[in-house]
Amino acid sequence: MAINLIKKMNILDQTRQNMNEAIKHLKNELAALQVGRAQPSLVENIMVESYGTKSPLKNLAGINTPDPATISIQPWDKGIAANIEKAINESGLGLQARNDGAAIHVPIVKPTEEKRQELTKLVGKLAEEAKISIRNARQTAHQEAKKMKENGDFTEDDFYKTEKDVQEIVDDMNKEIDEIAKKKEEEVMTV
């Protein structure tokens, strides 16, 4: 009986871990959206060429926001400032960095109403992708529990209890995704 409980807990722990990864990915994707407010998270994961390798910007420079409309980047090595500027300008985020020799400044332009509506749709799309990952993790847990039932490691009751517990995790994760998306949509639509 205790072995069944351990196996069930392993399934639930792995499922929760997989689902938390989906939520973490969603948060990272949403942090990179330009919503008209300067945020270090907008640029910190941009990959920059430095000394033959690519590294996230946050590993190469100090990033801060001196005002709500500007991101200021202080490279730790002034020799890669041009690479940082290039990486930001080519990131696909619609940002235009300026290198003044001492720092790189990235002005953040307030998005138009049309752009905010596009961003809101993108938030919804990213949230739906996270929910798909959640469903995939649920399916993996279901298959694992089913395999254990077929092997005789789980009783019928163990199987259905595991299914119920997995569904509770799914419901909690989907609720969290909805809350994250709603908060980001409000942030996008705030002028």
Residue at token pair 């300026």: 98
Question: How many residues are there in the chain?
Answer: 191
DSSP output for the chain: -HHHHHHHHHHHHHHHHHHHHHHHHHHHHHHTS--SS--GGGTTT-EEEETTEEEEGGGTEEEEEEETTEEEEEESSGGGHHHHHHHHHTSSS----EE-SS-EEEE-PPPPHHHHHHHHHHHHHHHHHHHHHHHHHHHHHHHHHHHHHHTTSS-HHHHHHHHHHHHHHHHHHHHHHHHHHHHHHHHHH--
Question: Virtual CA dihedral for 12, 18, 22, 27, nearest 10 degrees?
Answer: 80
**Other beta carbons less than 10 A from residue 153's beta carbon:** 15
Where, residue-wise, is CATH 1.10.132.20 in the chain?
A: 2-31+112-189
Which phi and psi angles does 177 have, rounded to 5°? -60, -45
Q: Provide CATH 3.30.1360.40 ranges for the chain.
A: 40-107
- CA atoms of 154 and 152, how far apart (whole Å): 5
pLDDT at 143: 93
Closest CA to 141 of 117, 118, 120, 159: 159
pLDDT for the residue 11 = 86
Tokens for 25?
């990915």
Contact yes or no for 115/7 (Cβ under 8 A): no
Considering only the top CATH level, what class is 2-31+112-189? Answer: mainly alpha
Q: Tens-digit pLDDT profile for the chain (191 aa)?
A: 556 677 778 888 999 999 999 999 999 888 877 666 778 888 888 899 988 899 898 998 899 988 888 899 999 988 888 899 999 888 877 788 898 888 899 988 777 888 888 888 999 999 999 999 999 999 999 999 999 889 888 888 888 999 999 999 999 999 999 999 999 998 888 75
Q: What whole-number distance in Å separates Cα of residue 31 and Cα of residue 44?
A: 10
Question: What pLDDT score does 17 carry?
Answer: 94
Other Cβ atoms less than 10 A from the Cβ of 25: the count is 14
**CATH number for region 40-107:** 3.30.1360.40
